[in-house]
Amino acid sequence: MVALRFKLLIVNFSLSLTLGFNNAIAFESSYSATIVYSQENGEQVDKKKEPRRRGDCDLLSVWTANICESNTFCYQAEEVALWLPKHKRSGQMNDRVVIQNRSAQKTVIKQWPASEATFTWPLSNIPLQSGSTYWVGLKKGRDYSWIELTVYQISANILAAEQITEMRQQGCSQQADRLEKIEN
């Protein structure tokens, strides 16, 4: 399997050089992220954003983190759930989710059953730290689609109007808008 991946890397790199493509993709293993290198400057690009179709990634609920794209998420309790629309998932029996806290040098890989609409954050493996940024990857085929998720804990025992204000202060405006609609 390693030899096949190495051959894919060489073929992909050769095609890139021959055809003048600006990017080459290397698959290191089934457990690592896709690494994209630019031939122009040789720097590693950490993520790529996929184009978003209008309306397909609206928040499922106020307290569920939408992982369609990089964003800021405010949470109340020690239970955080991730959500991705079904059509953005692999369609396999289980998706593989990778969560990284690069500053703490922690990585966790878990299965996300296709039958589950949300994925509960594995707190025992990678605790939430308010103000931290996590990289969340969902395996699609041989590569991962990565987003950045910055989390902030907000007060739980306050009025909804105060939660909305706190969310806006932390940059969780989508959540604040959703909570405001529910409360009005």
**Series of mean pLDDT values for 10-residue runs along the chain (184 residues):** 42 39 34 36 40 58 90 88 84 86 93 90 93 91 86 93 96 94 90
The confidence score (pLDDT) of residue 94 equals 80
DSSP state of 119: E
- Is 2.60.40 the CATH classification of the domain at 64-183? yes
* Residues in contact with 96: Cβ distance below 8 Å, sequence separation at least 6, in sequence order: 109, 110, 111, 112, 138, 139
CATH 2.60.40 in the chain, residues?
A: 64-183
* Residues 163/154, Cβ–Cβ less than 8 Å: yes
pLDDT at residue 49, as a whole number: 38
Q: How many CB atoms lie within 10 A of CB 135?
A: 19
First-to-last C-alpha distance (Å) of the chain: 56
Residue 139, beta-bridge partner list: 144
Q: What is the pLDDT of residue 75?
A: 94
Sheet of 106-113, strands arranged across = 71-75, 143-153, 133-140, 94-101, 106-113
Tell me the whole-structure pTM to 2 decimals.
Answer: 0.66
